[in-house]
Amino acid sequence: SEAAFGKPFARYWIHNGFININQEKMSKSLGNFLMIKDLVRIWHPEALRLFLLSNHYRSPLDYTEQAMREAASGLDKLYGFLDRIVGCFDVWPPEPVSDPAASAQSGGEIWQRFCEAMDDDFNTARGIGILFETVRSLNREIDRQGADAVTRQPAQFTRIMDIMGIGRVLGIMAEAPQQYFARQKHAVLASQDIDEEWIQEKIHERAEARKAKDFARADQIRDELKGHNIILEDRPDGTIWKHGDGKTQV
Please give the pLDDT value at position 103: 53
Domain architecture of the chain: domains with CATH: 19-170 (1.10.730.10), 194-243 (no CATH)
Annotate 116-183 with DSSP letters as a single string.
Answer: HHHHTTS-HHHHHHHHHHHHHHHHHHHHHH-HHHHHHSHHHHHHHHHHHHHHHHHT-S-S-HHHHHHH
Please give the pLDDT value at position 28: 75
In terms of DSSP bridges, do strands 19-21 and 61-63 run parallel, antiparallel, or are they unpaired? parallel
CA distance 138 to 133: 9
Please give the pLDDT value at position 97: 59
Residue 183 has a CB neighbour count (10 Å cut-off) of: 12
Please give the pLDDT value at position 249: 36
Please give the pLDDT value at position 248: 42
CA distance 41 to 44: 8
Query: How close are the terminal C-alpha atoms of the chain, in Å?
Result: 40
Length of the chain: 250
Which segments in the chain show pLDDT lower than 70? 96-106, 191, 244-250
78-128: per-residue pLDDT in tens? 999 999 999 999 888 887 655 555 555 567 999 999 999 999 999 999 999
